[in-house]
Amino acid sequence: MKPIGLFYSFNTRHTSDAADRIARELGEKNVDRVNIETIEDKVFLSYSYMILGVSTWFDGELPNYWDEFLPAMEHMDFTGKAIALFGPSDQVGYPQNFADGIGILADFLRNRGATIAGHYPAKSYHFIRSRAIEGEHFKGLVLDYANQPEMTEKRIKEWCTRLKKEFKFR
């Protein structure tokens, strides 16, 4: 088993693209990619360091694949686990619930003992409201492929550099 579990839907365009870039940045040999749509509880809990890819659907909802896995996660203990979140969102099309999926999942995991890692500055984004915001940072990496695609690579590199430190990863 590799030190980092990277969980996301393999059937999503932007989340999968970001996951590919994150895995390359952290080093493919250090990351296990796991399809959240076919996950087993035992596999999910087997990692101390986890990166979860979650987009925001509709008006601030989790995608079906995360929403359907939440009941299984309700009784899991995430104490001692460092979990980072990332996901695409659209700050122009959905400024009132920008990146809410990250916020929903981060709060859910934190309430079950997880340490949320990988906070990312919110200063270069423009939105009205977000459940993913905490102070001046997001609870994870937010990528806006629709309005700021030129920022994606830079944001992923910066975020992965932070994660390496937070995960005490070399």
The reported pTM is: 0.95
pLDDT at 25: 96
CATH architecture type of domain 4-166 = 3-Layer(aba) Sandwich (3.40)
38's tokens: 């076919």
- Sequence-ordered list of residues with C-beta below 8 angstroms from that of 18, at least 6 positions apart, any chain: 53, 86, 87, 88, 141, 143, 152, 156
Round to whole Å and give the CA distance between 46 and 48.
Answer: 7
Other C-beta atoms closer than 10 Å to the C-beta of 153 total 12
What are the average pLDDT values for consecutive 10-residue runs of the chain, which has 170 residues? 88 96 95 93 90 93 92 92 96 96 97 96 96 97 97 98 85
pLDDT at 59: 86
Domain coordinates in residue numbering, the chain: 4-166
E strands, 54-156, in order:
82-88, 115-117, 120-121, 133-134, 137-138, 141-143
